[in-house]
Amino acid sequence: MNYTTQMDAAKKGIITKEMERVAAKENMETSQLMELVAQGAVVIPANKNHNALDPEGVGQGLKTKINVNLGISKDCNCVDDELEKVKVALKMKAEAIMDLSCFGKTEEFRTKLVEMSPAMIGTVPMYDAVGFYDKELKDITEEELLGVIEKHAQNGVDFMTIHAGINRETAAVFKRNERLMNIVSRGGALIYAWMELNGKENPFYEYFDKVLDICEKYDVTISLGDACRPGAIKDSTDASQIKELMTLGELAKRAWKRNVQVMIEGPGHMSLDEIKANMQLEKKLCHNAPFYVLGPLVTDIAPGYDHITSAIGGAIAASSGADFLCYVTPAEHLRLPNLEDMKEGIIATKIAAHAGDIAKGIKGARDWDNAMSKARRELNWEKIFDLSIDPEKARRYREESKPEDEHTCTMCGKMCAVRNMNKVMEGKNLNVLRDDD
């Protein structure tokens, strides 16, 4: 039987090679995964032109995945620097990389990224439009905006953020409800500005069927962008955010009728007590579509440490149903992240994702932690390093401060609880002040 997309195959009862690979990674029956893909509760972003892809699943019952944002800007436009980040991100096992390049002719970086990356690749075509056509925003036509989506699909991009929910209706709600931070989504702000400058409807909404034509042809997963995501905790869960979310739920159902896979993007900045309810709202209003969140950042006061504010919110979001976390680095709100910023962002987000998986009972999630606890009980330092989420840093910290007794660390020395309990439980003598016999 022939099929056009992973969802089309799933609805027809066809198990694709991508489904088989994802099921093996997730320790899930392929038939169960196929059913979840057919329902739209799981997506497998897999563009037909991305030949290097090692596919991942995102959604219900699967491990929480993380995304790394990369790409050139006008102020930092060295492709080689970004490609070096790509190599490190892949080594650190990020499941997705988004090319957010927003300057000049970005196709060079994008095509190299697709060629070398086994991780799924995402983009925001709206970022590329000005440079792609070398036109000011107002002068870009609806047909040209759709043309950028087609170009990215041809290049092999697996998922695209499309800000289709910020239509005239949503914009009217935004205008009537004052915000502290207005619209902070880069793509959302561009679309809103285009609409205002031209007095027209959002072309991604008005011509959504044409967007679906492209995505169905190449099997591109649509990541429905949240133009009205809150950029300040004061703006979270407001009328604009919820109105757009309702629109995204309607668009998801339209996409599924065309067998196009869909993710929903979400906040943003949000206080701790609102996160769980927001995850439930998305799942209800968007019919259990996979939820892709930025953070949420749980406070606005920590420039330079927003990988921490994001990881706190991300762990709660993942434990409450979020399926995909977009990383945040220490450079958030300040500059384009450098290589070290990227590493810190990846580690913080991986910790949040794993913590969320433990809390929501993902099969096998606790095995890693149990293995680490066993290695710690045995004071098996090499095993501890191997099991660490960042082995390089763990090993370096140990080497920088060596204890007198190799079975301990320089925090507790021979008062180490683990060492002493091992000795007592084995019936051995306990020497704290003297050398061991």
Binding residues, by number, are 69, 98, 127, 163, 185-187, 226-229, 265, 269, 292, 333, 409, 412, 416
DSSP letter (8 states) at residue 96: E
Query: Where is the binding site for [4Fe-4S] cluster, in residues?
Result: 409, 412, 416
Q: CA-CA distance, 49 to 358, in Å (whole number)?
A: 35
Query: Where is the binding site for Zn(2+), in residues?
Result: 269, 333
H-only helix segments in 156-185 = 168-176
Q: 54: exposed, middle or buried (C-beta count within 10 Å: 0-12, 13-18, 19+)?
A: middle
Calculate helix-pair angle for 107-116, 79-91, nearest 10 degrees: 20
The tokens 């609409």 sit on which residue?
Answer: 195
Alpha carbon separation from 259 to 3, 125, 174, 207, 344 (Å, rounded): 10, 21, 31, 17, 37
The contacts of residue 356 (CB under 8 Å, 6+ apart) are 64, 314, 315, 316, 317, 318, 319, 320, 322
Q: Give the CA radius of gyration of the chain.
A: 24
Q: CA-CA distance, 277 to 247, in Å (whole number)?
A: 18
Q: CA-CA distance, 272 to 429, in Å (whole number)?
A: 49
β-pairing, 324-326 vs 291-294, is parallel
Residue 387 has which token pair? 């099991």
Query: Where is the binding site for substrate, in residues?
Result: 69, 98, 127, 163, 185-187, 226-229, 265, 292
- Residue of 333, 261, 353 lying closest to 67 (CA atoms): 353
